[in-house]
Amino acid sequence: MDLRYTNDELAFRDEVRAFLKDNLPEEIRQKMIDGESMDKQDLVTWSRILNEKGWAVPHWPTEYGGTGWDPMRQYIFLEETQKWPAPQPLAFGVNMVGPVIYTFGNEAQKKRYLPAIANLDDWWCQGFSEPGAGSDLASLKTRAVREGDHYVVNGQKTWTTLAQYADWIFCLVRTDPDAKKQSGISFLLIDMKTPGIEVRPIVTIDGGREINEVFLTDVKVPVENLVGEENKGWDYAKFLLGNERTNIARIGMSKQRIARIRELAAKEMSSGRPLIEDERFREKLASVEIDLKALELTQLRVVAADAKRGNTGKPDPASSILKIKGSEIQQATTHLLMQVMGPHALPYHTGDADGSNELPIEPDYAATAAPGYFNFRKVSIYGGSNEIQKNIIAKAVLGL
Amino acid sequence: MDFDLTDEQSMLKDSLDRLLKDSYGFEQRRKHMADPAGYSAEMWNAYAEMGLMALPFAEEDGGLAGTPVETMIVMESLGRALALEPYFATVILGGGALKAAGSSDQKAELIPQIADGSLKLALAHTERNSRYDLHHVETQATKDGDGWRLTGQKSVVLHGEAADRLIVVARTGGDIRDENGIGLFLIDANADGVTRRGYATQDGSRAAEISLDNVAAEALGAPENGLPALRKVVDGAIAPLAAESIGVMSAMNELTVDYLKMRKQFGVPIGAFQVLQHKAVDMYVAIEQARSITLYATMMADSDDAEARAQAMHAAKAEIGRGGRIVGENAIQLHGGVGMTMEYAVGHYFKRMTMIDTQFGDSDFHLRALARGEGLFKAA
- The residue-averaged pLDDT of A339-345 equals 94
Q: How confident is the model at residue A314 (pLDDT cuts 50, 70, 90)?
A: low
Answer yes or no: is A167 within a domain. Answer: yes
**Planar angle of CA B209, B212, B217, nearest 5 degrees:** 125
- Nearest CA of chain A to the CA of B363: how many Å? 10
Task: Decide: B299 and A4 in contact? Cβ < 8 Å.
Answer: yes
How far is residue B248's CA from residue B190's CA, in Å, rounded to a whole number?
Answer: 34
CB contact under 8 A, B370 and A286: yes
Same domain (yes/no): A132, A221 = yes
Q: By C-alpha distance, which of B53, B43, B48, B52 is closest to B85?
A: B43
Burial of B367 (0-12, 13-18, 19+ CB in 10 A): buried
At residue A383, the pLDDT reads 85
Same domain (yes/no): A24, A160 = no
CB contact under 8 A, A398 and B377: no
Same domain (yes/no): A205, A267 = no
Q: Which domain holds residue A325?
A: 248-397
- B10 contact A CB<8A: no
- A390 contact B CB<8A: yes
Which alpha helices (DSSP H) does chain B contain, by range? 7-23, 26-34, 41-50, 68-81, 87, 95-101, 104-115, 227-262, 274-300, 306-335, 345-357, 363-372
At residue A362, the pLDDT reads 77
Same domain (yes/no): A204, A129 = yes
Query: Is the model's pLDDT at B192 over the cut of 90?
Result: yes
Residue B171 CB coordination number (10 Å): 26
Same domain (yes/no): A227, A252 = no
At residue A2, the pLDDT reads 79
Residue B106 CB coordination number (10 Å): 17
Query: Is the model's pLDDT at A352 over the cut of 60?
Result: no
Task: Please say if A244 is a catalytic residue.
Answer: yes
At residue A357, the pLDDT reads 57
Cβ-Cβ contacts under 8 Å, B379 against chain A: 259
Average pLDDT across chain B, whole number: 96
Same domain (yes/no): A304, A357 = yes
Same domain (yes/no): A222, A256 = no
Within 8 A by CB and 6+ apart from B149, the residues are: B141, B142, B143, B214, B215, B216, B217
Cα separation values, A375 from A31, A86, A204, A262, Å: 16, 19, 7, 21
Among the candidates A204, A231, A258, a domain finishes at A231
Q: By C-alpha distance, which of A193, A52, A387, A112 is closest to B282?
A: A387
Same domain (yes/no): A322, A364 = yes
Task: Decide: B84 and B244 in contact? Cβ < 8 Å.
Answer: no
Among the candidates A68, A89, A110, a domain finishes at A89
Task: Decide: A344 and A362 in contact? Cβ < 8 Å.
Answer: yes
The string of pLDDT tens digits covering residues A126-174 is 999 999 999 999 999 999 999 999 999 999 999 999 999 999 999 999 9
Q: What is the CATH number of domain B7-119?
A: 1.10.540.10
Task: CATH number for B122-224: choose from 1.10.10.410, 2.130.10.10, 2.60.40.1930, 2.40.110.10.
Answer: 2.40.110.10
Same domain (yes/no): A352, A252 = yes
Residue A260 CB coordination number (10 Å): 19
CATH number for A157: 2.40.110.10
Answer yes or no: is A98 within a domain. Answer: no
Answer yes or no: is A18 within a domain. Answer: yes
Of A1, A255, A390, the CB nearest to B2: A1
The string of pLDDT tens digits covering residues A9-28 is 999 999 999 999 999 999 99
The string of pLDDT tens digits covering residues B257-291 is 999 999 999 999 999 999 999 999 999 999 999 99
Q: What is the CATH number of domain B228-372?
A: 1.20.140.10
Task: Decide: A190 and A127 in contact? Cβ < 8 Å.
Answer: yes
Answer yes or no: is A349 within a domain. Answer: yes
Our count of domains for chain A comes to: 3
Beta strand A124-127 with A168-174 is parallel
CA-nearest residue to A300 within chain B is B1
- A166 contact B CB<8A: no
Q: Which of A79, A210, A230, A244 is catalytic?
A: A244
Answer yes or no: is A144 within a domain. Answer: yes
Cβ-Cβ contacts under 8 Å, B1 against chain A: 2-6, 9, 72, 300, 304
Same domain (yes/no): A382, A357 = yes
State the complex-level ipTM.
0.95
Q: At what angle do helices B68-81 and B274-300 cross, to 10 degrees?
A: 150
- The residue-averaged pLDDT of A350-370 equals 70
Same domain (yes/no): A24, A142 = no
Among the candidates A89, A116, A138, a domain finishes at A89
Same domain (yes/no): A307, A278 = yes
- A304 contact B CB<8A: yes
How far is residue A271's CA from residue B220's CA, in Å, rounded to a whole number?
Answer: 46
How far is residue A260's CA from residue A242's CA, in Å, rounded to a whole number?
Answer: 31
**What are the residue ranges spanned by the domains of chain B?**
7-119, 122-224, 228-372
Q: By C-alpha distance, which of B79, B78, B51 is closest to B65?
A: B51
Q: B125: part of which helix (H) or strand (E)?
A: none
- B280 contact A CB<8A: yes
